[in-house]
Amino acid sequence: MYSLRRIRDGEGDSGGMSAILWQEDDDIKYEHNAKPRIGVAIRVGSNIARTMQYQDWWQTSYITEIIEDSEDYVKFKTGNSVYEWRII
């Protein structure tokens, strides 16, 4: 299980999916069960549909800086936010 939270307001999601995404030529590339790293976006949440009441996942914009990094925790910046990602 993974957790992703935006520092300023606590928004984010948690679940069994942690996938990074990036564009390569005209294709979107994915890596599953991945940690945040510079130059990619990260999506955390459920990889199956939940109910209509809740979001299925939370995705960031591209990561620009890693502030803190350990085996099960990463604090990072995107273009306009700071996030914490955890293995829970």
Q: What is the pLDDT of residues 26-41, one digit of tens each?
A: 999 999 999 999 999 9
Domain ranges in the chain are: 2-87
User: Is the Cβ–Cβ distance between 19 and 30 less than 8 Å?
Assistant: yes
Record the pTM: 0.90
What residues have CB less than 8 Å from 60, skipping those under 6 apart?
Answer: 4, 41, 42, 43, 78, 81, 83
pLDDT at 82: 98
Task: Quote the mean pLDDT of the chain.
Answer: 93
Over residues 42-70, the mean pLDDT reads 85
Q: Is the pLDDT of residue 54 over 70?
A: no
